[in-house]
């Protein structure tokens, strides 16, 4: 397995271009299954999860053409299989996103039940209950979800918990259902909004976009000529590099990004002592060489502080001035990075879903191991500030969500290299 060796102590500085959002690209590529016409999707990030999604769609008979700028032309006009096999789903839970589109367009889907993962059990009961209320017959056997429906029927669904992919699956299913679907307590994450705009460009009729009540008028068919859609920038990649600059006391400018979808994170970075300025599509952060101040955050669904930035802020707090209290309310086991940070000398106490971080003057390098995507980002951030050279193992996790991370960090002056196994 590849490893990263990072030598800490350099203040990051320079400019970086942010890639397209992984969590928008995944549902949008799944949504192409709904279209009878080919679609060009632009600003796709170069990530392992995208490769997995392309393999999954390819196995169903979807034709995909990728150009050197990672624009992907997708043609779902001749599907031959309605199956998402275990060996792909187990590497990427987001494969569940093909369930709604397959059922809505073809009336049939066989999707491996996504197992749990390091950060929690992550059930899909809300996805399945919603589809059954829309008239789908669903059985789960042999580790697969088997779903059939002559034609899904629109109805009013009140989601018992805010779920991002649950909202996305049900919105895609409703786009081709008969009649109107009202999704209440829908997720409002910018990636959900991006998917809704994409569906409307395909000819769907969705209103309430950006709110927690989505109204979807089902269409008989979807697909328009010459559609070219550009994915929105990745807010979590943006936040991750801002924290990397903050922990090193550095100064960076991130381009091709969206400050307007990162309010909660930018507010906390300012509280940590960063000087943050923004434009329409750029964010500049300058710590003026100062040590960050500890901040407290409580994760919750958008527009509150994102759970996908929790691990990065714990890393920031490990060397900050003071005590920061981090409370995780979305996933039940999203502190796997804490024990690895403790190996580097961090002073963190865990009390149920809260991490109490007392800043230390410095971390020291130690061999550490990534456990999940955002935890691995947190370890890289800590290594950038630690004394000595840190070896981060199992970084296949990080390759799932960060496009060319060592190149981008090296561009900002970090001393980092990948050690292939």
Could you give the residue numbers annotated as active site? 117
Our finding on whether 192 is near ligand EPZ (CB under 6 A) is no
Our finding on whether 32 is near ligand EPZ (CB under 6 A) is no
Task: Select from 235, 258, 337, 374 the one that contacts ligand EPZ (CB under 6 A).
Answer: 374
Q: Cα–Cα distance between 147 and 393 in angstroms, integer?
A: 39
Backbone angle region of 394, left / alpha / beta, with phi > 0 → left and psi within -120 to 50 → alpha = left
- φ, ψ of residue 28 in degrees (nearest 5): -70, -40
Our finding on whether 23 is near ligand EPZ (CB under 6 A) is yes
- From the list 102-110, 159-167, 344-352, 357-365, the region that binds ligand EPZ by CB under 6 A is 159-167
Count interface residues toward ligand EPZ (CB under 6 A).
22
Least distance in Å: CB of 359 to ligand EPZ?
Answer: 25
Our finding on whether 164 is near ligand EPZ (CB under 6 A) is yes
Least distance in Å: CB of 8 to ligand EPZ?
Answer: 24
Least distance in Å: CB of 375 to ligand EPZ?
Answer: 9
- Closer residue to ligand EPZ (CB): 124 or 386: 124
Radius of gyration of the chain (CA): 21
- From the list 10-18, 133-141, 156-164, 222-230, the region that binds ligand EPZ by CB under 6 A is 156-164
Identify residues 36-95 at the interface with ligand EPZ (CB under 6 A).
94
Identify residues 327-346 at the interface with ligand EPZ (CB under 6 A).
330-331
In contact, 171 and 214? CB cutoff 8 Å? yes
Our finding on whether 127 is near ligand EPZ (CB under 6 A) is yes
Nearest to 229 by CA among 39, 4, 21, 37: 39
In contact, 109 and 145? CB cutoff 8 Å? yes
- CA distances 384 to 68, 197, 276, Å, are 31, 38, 21
Residues 6+ apart with CB under 8 A from 129: none
Our finding on whether 125 is near ligand EPZ (CB under 6 A) is yes
Our finding on whether 373 is near ligand EPZ (CB under 6 A) is yes
Identify residues 213-252 at the interface with ligand EPZ (CB under 6 A).
none
Our finding on whether 308 is near ligand EPZ (CB under 6 A) is yes
Tell me how many degrees the CA angle 88-89-93 measures, rounded to the nearest 5.
Answer: 135
Helix, strand and coil percent figures for the chain, each rounded to 5:
35, 30, 40
Task: Select from 38, 85, 107, 123 the one that contacts ligand EPZ (CB under 6 A).
Answer: 123
Tell me how many degrees the CA angle 103-60-197 measures, rounded to the nearest 5.
Answer: 55
Helix locations, 229-309, DSSP H: 235-247, 263-271
Binding residues (CB under 6 A) for ligand EPZ: these are 23, 26, 94, 120, 122-127, 161, 163-166, 307-308, 330-331, 373-374, 401
């Amino acid at each position: 397995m590849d490893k990263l060796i990072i030598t800490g102590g350099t203040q990051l500085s320079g400019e970086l271009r942010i890639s397209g959002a992984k969590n928008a690209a995944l549902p949008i590529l799944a949504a192409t299954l709904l279209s009878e016409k080919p679609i060009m999707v632009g600003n796709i990030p170069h990530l392992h999860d995208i490769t997995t999604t392309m393999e999954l769609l390819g196995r169903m008979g979807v034709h995909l053409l990728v150009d050197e700028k990672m624009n992907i032309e997708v043609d779902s006009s001749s599907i031959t299989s309605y199956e998402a096999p275990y060996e792909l789903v187990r590497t990427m839970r987001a494969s569940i996103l093909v369930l709604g589109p397959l059922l809505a367009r073809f009336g049939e889907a066989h999707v491996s039940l996504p197992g749990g993962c390091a950060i929690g059990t992550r059930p899909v009961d809300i996805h399945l209950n919603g589809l059954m209320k829309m008239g789908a017959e669903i059985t789960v056997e042999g580790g697969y979800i088997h779903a059939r429906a002559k034609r899904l029927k629109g109805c009013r669904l009140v989601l018992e918990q805010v779920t991002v992919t649950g909202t996305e699956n049900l919105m895609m299913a409703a786009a081709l259902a008969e009649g109107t679907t009202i999704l209440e307590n829908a997720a409002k994450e910018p990636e959900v909004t991006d998917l809704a705009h994409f569906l409307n460009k395909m000819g769907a009729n969705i209103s309430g976009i950006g709110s927690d009540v989505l109204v979807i008028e089902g269409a008989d068919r979807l697909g328009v000529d010459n559609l070219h859609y550009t994915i929105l920038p990745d807010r979590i990649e943006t936040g991750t590099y801002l924290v990397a600059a903050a922990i090193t006391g550095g100064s960076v400018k991130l381009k091709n990004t969206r400050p307007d979808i990162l309010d909660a994170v930018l507010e906390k970075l300012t509280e940590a002592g960063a000087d943050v300025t923004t434009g329409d599509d750029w964010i500049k952060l300058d710590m003026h060489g100062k040590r960050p101040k500890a901040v407290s955050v409580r994760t919750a669904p958008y527009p509150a502080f994102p759970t996908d930035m929790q691990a990065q802020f714990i890393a920031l707090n490990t060397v900050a001035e003071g005590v920061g209290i981090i409370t995780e309310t979305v996933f039940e086991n999203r502190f796997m990075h804490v024990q690895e940070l403790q190996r580097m000398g961090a002073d963190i106490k865990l009390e149920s879903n809260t991490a109490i971080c007392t800043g230390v003057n410095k971390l020291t390098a130690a061999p550490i191991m990534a456990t999940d995507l955002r935890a691995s980002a947190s370890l890289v951030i800590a290594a950038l500030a630690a004394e000595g050279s840190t070896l981060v193992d199992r970084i296949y996790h990080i390759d799932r969500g960060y496009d060319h991370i060592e190149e981008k960090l090296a561009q900002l002056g970090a001393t980092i290299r990948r050690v292939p196994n």
